[in-house]
Amino acid sequence: MNQEEMTAIVKEELRHIPDGYGPRHGWLRTYYNRWRRQDLSKGKTKEDTMTRCIEAIRQEDPHWLAEYDITFFKIPYNSKTNKS
């Protein structure tokens, strides 16, 4: 997969992570953008990447609740990791 294809995929997937308030939510979009490109090259799913991002941010703020489109990212619901 070339850079142009990865960019298109990541751009589309980022549409399912709302622009939220606060620095942690900005981290979610930033981490997802950066790590998704790496994960695409390794064949990982968007759910793998989102889970990785949430876990990394929760290391800094254990009470943080991620906001994303739960119909797009098929991650088992856990009230401690997501809301939406």
Q: What is the residue range of 33's domain?
A: 3-83
Residue 61 or residue 25, greater confidence: 61
When divided into structural domains, the chain yields a total of: 1
pLDDT tens-place string over residues 33-79: 999 999 999 999 999 999 999 999 999 989 888 889 999 999 875 54
Residue 12 or residue 65, greater confidence: 12
Name the one residue in this structure whose structure tokens are 């790590």: 35
pTM: 0.84
| Averaged pLDDT, 19-33 | 84
Return the exposure string of 54-76: e unless at least 16 CB atoms fall within 10 Å of the residue's CB, then b. Answer: beebbeeeeebbbbbeeebbebe
